Structure 1
């Protein structure tokens, strides 16, 4: 199961960095959201897709890939949910992805935590 998740995550991450919001939509749950804890901001997938489309259209979509220090996968007992925690090099921010498995893996939340101390 985790190989399937890793494969889907690779596609999803690549879609983000290339600005392919159609592929993002395939792997993000309908209720997907991005939470920026430090700023107190939550963004829906539809708002995000519009921003990405606008940036791609104007040639300014150039997100920086973070330098990842560690990556940890935590599955629930029945392997239908997974939290992926990414610690970044030289940054206190921790990124958490929450994934669920229905007929395939879908990401439901991307959270940029305030610090390495996770809630």
Structure 2
């Protein structure tokens, strides 16, 4: 991988997008979509097409309470009017997502993330 690809995502950006939910370090689908530079909808479609690759210990949907608790941690709400509860990905889920999306950007995010 080229040196400039390794430096496209500062460490602080990644670490600020990791949350502790259900005693697991996770990243939220929309944050991953932003990092991978794809629409959240496209990310979710890729996961759905490859659902057998994402068991509960790789990815899970937040409960309404978990989502509200997470939203309350942000001073301003940039969540807008989401229709669906977000999915979150564990370390293994992020790695699997990188392989499912199969892009240079996804690989760079995975390498920086863990």
Q: TM-score range by the shorter chain?
A: under 0.3
Q: Which has the higher contact order (CA 8 A, sep 6+)?
A: 2
Query: Whose strand proportion is higher, 1 or 2?
Result: 1
Query: Whose helix proportion is higher, 1 or 2?
Result: 2
Alignment TM-score, normalising by the size of structure 2: 0.27
Alignment TM-score, normalising by the size of structure 1: 0.27
